[in-house]
Amino acid sequence: MPELSYREAVRDALSQAMRQDDDVFILGEDIAEMGGSMGVTQGMLDEFGPERVRNTPISEMAIVGAGIGAAMQGMRPVVEVMYEDFTTLAMEQIVNQAAKHRYMSGGQLKVPLTIRTQGGAGWSPGAQHAQQLEAWFVHVPGLKVVFASTPSDVRGLLWSSIYDDNPVMFFEHRTLYGIKEDVPEELEPIPLGQARIHREGEDVTVVATGRLVHEAIAAAGEAEAEGVSVEVVDPRTLLPLDEATIVDSVKKTNRCVVAHEAVTRMGFGAEVAAIVQHQAFDYLDAPIERVGSRFVPIPFAPVMEEWVVPHSNDVLAAIRQTVGRSESSNGAGHVE
């Protein structure tokens, strides 16, 4: 099994899809000669040429609009929005156009558009380049929302997103691009709406997304040393959501922690908590704990950024809280 980084896995999925299918092409700011802001598309211009690796003007509304038009004409474009903060500049196209056309046409139109974007803290990019906005798009009927946390998952999920006939918001976290993992020699598509259990446990379920999956796994290791068995579940696809895997896990462990880098207020974790409370209330032995960033813009100063966003110690504090062994975290992030 070859070892691929998260960045290489994204590139591999894009490249394999483009080799197989002439209808697949990519477009975005600086994705050609420069290879994208995160280097994901490096080398692809040489293989596929400027018609299929298309640099665009600096206009997110125009980029997404062009992708929608191409998708409605039968192609399968993959749009790169350089930072997910900049999806705000294309919200009309994403929310009012891409998400609505299939429904409003009675299924006569399809919009097989994948919008790749990345974000997250961890390198002091400041408040306008570090947000985690995935919960916004989960709120929009007609979109699908994916947030992969490992190289194997990002490769298989991106492939499935490209070949879905609906618009997909595909989130990546910039601090994950360098992580490596052994992946199958042959690309294996992963169905949208299928969660992954990274670690099985008996005492607490931690439902985590993106970077917090890795923080949760680290916290689970520390909790195990304290005699607490933690199950870590990664939804992978936020919409559609694999509710059954999450609920079944909580019914087994009787406790639940939800963790993400986005702020807790109105975050994706609030929806998970509501689902668990509704479907597994009689199984819960403790209140559901939520872990996320403090409700402030992401600071530029590294020490302040570190204080605002959650880490493994915050997940561990929530685990301790729900099993009745409460100890304060080191102050980073926020626990509710």
**Domain 3-182 classification at class level:** alpha beta
Of the chain, the percentage scoring pLDDT greater than 70 comes to 96
The structure tokens listed for 334 are: 């926020």
Give, in order, the Cα–Cα distances in Å from 178 to each of 7, 113, 175. 7, 26, 7
Predicted local confidence at residue 1, as pLDDT:
74
* Region(s) of the chain under CATH 3.40.50.920: 196-335
264 in Cβ contact with 270 (< 8 Å): yes
Res. 336 pLDDT band, cuts 50 70 90:
low
For residue range 89-121, what is the model confidence (pLDDT) as tens digits?
Answer: 999 999 999 999 999 999 999 999 999 999 999
- The whole-number average pLDDT for the span 5-26 is 97
CATH classification code of 196-335 = 3.40.50.920
For residue range 217-247, what is the model confidence (pLDDT) as tens digits?
Answer: 999 999 999 999 999 999 999 999 999 999 9
Indicate if 214 belongs to the active site: no
pLDDT higher than 90, residue 191: yes
For residue range 317-328, what is the model confidence (pLDDT) as tens digits?
Answer: 999 999 996 554
* Region(s) of the chain under CATH 3.40.50.970: 3-182
* Strands of 42-195, DSSP E: 53-55, 76-81, 114-119, 144-147, 168-173, 180-182
Secondary element (H or E) of residue 239? strand 237-239
Q: Average per-residue pLDDT in the chain?
A: 95
- Active-site annotation holder among 8, 29, 80, 129: 129
- Active-site annotation holder among 60, 215, 261, 305: 60
pTM listed for this prediction: 0.94
pLDDT higher than 80, residue 15: yes
For residue range 45-74, what is the model confidence (pLDDT) as tens digits?
Answer: 999 999 999 999 999 999 999 999 999 999
Indicate if 60 belongs to the active site: yes
pLDDT higher than 90, residue 166: yes
pLDDT higher than 80, residue 334: no
For residue range 242-295, what is the model confidence (pLDDT) as tens digits?
Answer: 999 999 999 999 999 999 999 999 999 999 999 999 999 999 999 999 999 999
Question: Rounded distance, CA 311 to CA 241, Å?
Answer: 24
Predicted local confidence at residue 169, as pLDDT:
98
